[in-house]
């Protein structure tokens, strides 16, 4: 039953604004992903919520209570670090019980709660193990249990799966999502992987240079990116820079109707929405390379000025490199001044 409210938070490191007037409200039981390239300020933001960095200005409230002046040990937040940061001189049980002991909870109650949370993360009976006897995934589960056992109001996850292999990452992703939904715990999740964000989040915040580019549900983010940066960062997007004149967009020998005013624009089309057809003569583009993924093929196209774009085709073997083709965008949009200027259909 907790709501996290962040208003106008700014953090400056020397001359660099790591986080710039950030505002966000995370609803009760919601899982919000902070997504962005490294250096976009997402970790700094999480550390400010956890109390490990102090913002230069702004306010952070949890259930209406200002926490900005509280040290980490007095905030109702629980953080899971990328490096899991387990205490190697304690076994699994002691790692999880440490926070409860600090709260002077009776030993029997501690035992019960630790066992309960070990069940929850799927490590029943692992209490006596030393941390170095665990695999990477198990260590991260212990780190999660260590936070969850204290029943924090807000759970903060700082790229928790970054050091794990792809297969394990996908499994843990689902498990964490299940646990989060079962406990209905308000969660903020930092990642630089779009897969992770798209598969887990209720809402995604895309960050760039300490500023919010877009806040939206995963399906909206993919289909209606608000800026060219988001369009390029989530999934693959052909971003073609050119000029609009007389309701027509032109770049090199690619041209398409675009009903906006004259001037520069970025034409955006996903590879799966760009159809190609064999051309007689020299066509609009030439196939540079065909990659066969079995389920589909990906064709690299080269326009006459040498710029390259991608198109997804149902069957890779229908195409060969060097072949001239014509391009037909089915679903597309256009950006001008870092904002959407047009969206088809």
Q: Which helix (H) or strand (E) holds 285?
A: strand 285-292
Of 132 and 167, CB closest to another protein = 132
Q: What is the dihedral of CA 2, 79, 43, 38, to 10 degrees?
A: -120
Pick 36 or 51: Cβ nearer another protein: 51
Rule CB under 8 A: is residue 88 a binding residue for another protein? yes
Number of chain positions touching another protein (CB under 8 A): 25
Interface with another protein by CB under 8 A: which range of 25-33, 35-43, 96-104, 208-216? 96-104
78 binds another protein, rule: CB under 8 A: yes
Q: Of 17-25, 68-76, 134-142, 311-319, which segment contacts another protein by CB under 8 A? A: 68-76
Q: Does residue 160 interact with another protein by CB under 8 A?
A: no
The two structure tokens encoding residue 244: 């609009």
Q: Residues with Cβ < 8 Å from 193, sequence gap 6 or more?
A: none
> Which residue lies nearer to another protein by CB, 68 or 150?
150
Quick note: the x/- pattern for another protein over 23-62, rule CB under 8 A, is ---------------------------xxx----------
- CA distances (Å), origin 56, targets 44, 45, 72, 213: 12, 12, 17, 21
- Residue 99 engages another protein in binding (rule: CB under 8 A): yes
Q: Is 73 in the site for another protein (CB under 8 A)?
A: yes
Should residue 342 be labelled a site residue for another protein when binding is judged by CB under 8 A?
A: no
Among 102, 107, 260, 277, binds another protein (CB under 8 A): 102
Among 38, 64, 69, 103, binds another protein (CB under 8 A): 103
Q: Does 70 bind another protein (CB under 8 A)?
A: no
- Site stretch for another protein (CB under 8 A), options 75-83, 225-233, 242-250, 278-286: 75-83
Going by C-alpha positions, the residue among 209, 206, 242 that lies closest to residue 224 is 206
Q: Rounded distance, CA 117 to CA 345, Å?
A: 49
Residue 262, SS3?
A: coil
Residue 87 CB, shortest distance to another protein, in Å, is 6
Calculate ∠ Cα 149-152-153, nearest 5°: 150
Long-range contact list for 18-25, CB < 8 A, 24+ apart? 18/44, 18/210, 19/44, 19/45, 19/48, 19/55, 19/210, 20/209, 20/210, 20/211, 21/58, 21/211, 22/58, 22/210, 22/211, 22/212, 23/212, 24/205, 24/212, 24/215
Q: Is 79 in the site for another protein (CB under 8 A)?
A: yes
Pick one of 69, 89, 132, 167: the residue that binds another protein (CB under 8 A). 89
The binding site for another protein (CB under 8 A) comprises 50-52, 71-74, 77-79, 81, 83, 85-89, 98-99, 102-103, 143, 146-147, 150
């Amino acid at each position: 039953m907790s709501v996290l409210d962040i208003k106008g938070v700014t953090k400056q490191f020397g001359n660099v604004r790591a986080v710039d007037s950030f505002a966000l409200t995370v609803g009760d039981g919601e899982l919000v992903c902070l997504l962005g390239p490294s250096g976009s300020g997402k970790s700094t933001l999480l550390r400010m919520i956890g109390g490990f960095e102090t913002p230069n200005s702004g306010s952070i409230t949890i259930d209406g209570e200002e926490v900005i002046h509280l040290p980490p040990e007095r905030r109702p937040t629980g953080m899971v670090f990328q490096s899991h940061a387990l205490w190697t001189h304690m076994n699994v049980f002691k790692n999880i019980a440490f926070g409860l002991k600090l709260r002077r909870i009776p030993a029997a109650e501690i035992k019960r709660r630790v066992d309960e949370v070990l069940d929850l993360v799927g490590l029943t009976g692992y209490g006596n193990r030393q941390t170095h006897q665990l695999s990477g995934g198990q260590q991260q589960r212990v780190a999660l249990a260590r936070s969850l056992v204290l029943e924090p109001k807000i759970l903060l996850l700082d790229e928790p799966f970054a050091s794990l292999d792809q297969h394990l990452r996908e499994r843990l992703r689902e498990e964490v999502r299940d646990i989060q939904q079962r406990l209905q715990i308000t969660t903020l999740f930092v990642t630089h992987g779009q897969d992770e964000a798209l598969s887990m989040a209720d809402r995604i915040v895309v960050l760039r240079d300490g500023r919010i580019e877009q806040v939206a549900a995963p399906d909206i983010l993919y289909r209606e990116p608000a800026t060219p940066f988001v369009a390029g960062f989530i999934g693959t997007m052909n971003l073609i820079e050119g000029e609009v004149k007389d309701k027509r967009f032109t770049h090199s020998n690619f041209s398409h109707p675009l009903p906006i005013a004259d001037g520069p624009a970025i034409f955006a089309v996903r590879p799966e929405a760009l159809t190609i057809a064999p051309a007689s003569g020299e066509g609009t583009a030439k196939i540079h390379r065909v990659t066969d993924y079995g389920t589909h093929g990906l064709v690299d196209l080269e326009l006459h000025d040498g710029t390259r774009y991608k198109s997804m085709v149902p069957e890779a073997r229908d195409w060969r490199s060097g072949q001239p083709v014509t391009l037909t965008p089915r679903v597309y949009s256009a950006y001008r001044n870092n904002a959407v200027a047009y969206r088809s259909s």
